[in-house]
A and B are shown apart, each in its own frame.
Chain A
């Protein structure tokens, strides 16, 4: 294979947090890199780059995905929510507030993914049990909190007393 130094770019458009974007990117560029580098929203993190850790989670057409595993061309026409789209201006989402109150965020690397995974869980299941919270967040790794404070945060956000 001859090495070309410049990747061929194709046009892609999608909306991120309600704002439309049209740009050119290599078709197989990771959605993660396009969000961070082209759109310059760096709240979405890279941990493992192989689908294991959930740091790169975004919501794509209503579903939680690992943006490190999505070639950007597959996001053509999509509606994407990143962590930057969760708060309303300065007003935090109840899930974000609960993470602050319960110590669900420490270094913060896993937090954007944890919050999006929590939102996605609560949207499908507004009153999850402790086990359902664990299952909903099982694809998100955290090296700091030991998870309990994260589970507490989600429970607090849905008003549960557990």
Chain B
């Protein structure tokens, strides 16, 4: 059933400081592009009633390129991400995630910050952000001043739909270190498995990167969506892959598949089931290793 409109309130704030002051009082919650929240609203499932629109806060928007990082404002949309030359050149996993999220109209309104804080285990950008070892800046207003803290994105999701974000806090910045360049031998790979190309929520998605020197994998980062209560890094599989000779992949692939299957905890839900997710995860790993062997960099 549709929401009963008179029950809801939405206000705006003129500045980040003003927004944080409102949020500090505890009654209002942040509302960005609305592509998650409006769907709940429409379905009559939006249980909170007072919303602060942060969409107008331009200080939370845009991509800044620094020497060691790129810093993206939380309100940066998928469309803005796809247009950015530095992201295109250095963060192809994020470009792919953005391109495969919803369709154009969703990409024009959906924000990276909203995707992170919404904390769906099936979201498409978290695996990319995990591979890039993103850092998040969380801000709040204490005694009339903006206070900021940085947390590692890897620690942000503390359980199904729960995060380190405290009441009254906003996600301000997503920072990605510029470390996985192709010139350093890193190969990157992203694949989303869903029912159709556009608009589909993932059944599984993988973001991965590995450093290959000669025929040897010297470093690896692998992250998955939809196979655990939170988007996850596959640390055991990464450790297993380090030092492996790609020339001998046929001899260790079976073991690698077993390792990745042992560290995920997929479930049955409306989009897929645990067995399918386990099998496809193994296939996705194998596909990634084949790409490493083929010597292609993208």
Tell me, in angstroms, the Cα distance from A45 to B103 when the chains sit together: 18
Which of B31-39, B212-220, B232-240, B243-251 touches A?
Answer: B31-39
Instruction: Known contacts A51-B105, A139-B104; decide if A74 and B198 are in contact (CB<8 Å).
Output: no
Nearest B residue to A71, CB-CB: B10
- Which residues on the B side are within 8 Å of A3 (C-beta)? 4, 6-7
Q: Is B79 an interface residue (CB 8 A)?
A: yes
A69–B31 alpha-carbon span in the complex (Å): 12
Question: Which residue of A26, A30, A71, A117 is within 8 Å of B104 (Cβ)?
Answer: A117
B265 within 8 A of A: no
Task: Find B12's partner among A64, A70, A73, A136 (CB 8 Å cutoff).
Answer: A73
* Interfacial chain A residues near B272, Cβ < 8 Å: none
B88 at interface, CB cutoff 8 A? no
Closest residue of chain A to B198, judged by CB?
A138
Let me know if A50 and B42 touch, CB within 8 A.
Answer: yes
Complex contacts, A65 vs chain B, CB 8 Å: 105, 108-109
Judge whether B6 and A139 touch: CB under 8 Å: no
Residue of A nearest to B39 (CB): A50
Question: Could you say which residues of chain A place their CB within 8 Å of the CB of B298?
Answer: none
- The residue on B at minimum CB distance from A5 is B6
B99 to chain A, nearest CB (A): 8
Contacts of B38 in A (CB 8 A): 30, 50-51, 68-71
B104 touches A51 (CB 8 A): no
Q: A63-B79, A68-B42, A69-B34 are in contact. Are A28 and B5 (CB under 8 A)?
A: yes
Q: Which residue of chain A has its CB nearest to the CB of B49?
A: A1
Complex Cα gap A127–B198 (Å): 21
- 2-42 of chain A: CB within 8 A of chain B: 3-8, 26-30
Asked if A69 and B8 sit within 8 Å, CB to CB, the answer is no
Q: For the complex, is B197 an interface residue (Cβ under 8 Å from A)? A: yes
26 contacts between A and B (CB under 8 A): A26-B6, A26-B8, A27-B10, A28-B5, A28-B10, A28-B51, A29-B5, A30-B38, A50-B38, A50-B39, A51-B39, A52-B199, A64-B104, A64-B105, A68-B42, A69-B34, A70-B38, A71-B34, A71-B38, A71-B53, A74-B34, A76-B56, A117-B105, A138-B104, A138-B199, A139-B106
Taken together as a complex, chains A and B put the C-alpha atoms of A139 and B107 apart, in Å, by: 10
| Chain B residues, CB < 8 A from A30 | 38
Given contact pairs A74-B55, A138-B104, A138-B198, a sample of 16 additional A-B residue pairs in the complex whose CB atoms are under 8 Å apart:
A3-B7, A4-B6, A8-B6, A27-B8, A30-B38, A51-B39, A52-B199, A63-B108, A65-B108, A66-B109, A70-B109, A73-B11, A74-B53, A76-B12, A139-B102, A139-B104
Q: Chain B residues near A71 (CB, 8 Å)?
A: 10, 31, 34, 38, 53
B199 near A28 with CB under 8 A, answer: no
Tell me whether B5 and A51 are in contact (CB under 8 A): no
Q: Is B41 an interface residue (CB 8 A)?
A: yes
* Identity of the chain A residue whose Cβ is nearest the Cβ of B7 in the assembled complex: A1
Shortest CB-to-CB span from B58 to chain A, Å, is 13
Say yes or no for A54: interface residue by CB 8 A criterion: yes
Q: Shortest beta-carbon distance, B298 to chain A, in Å?
A: 18
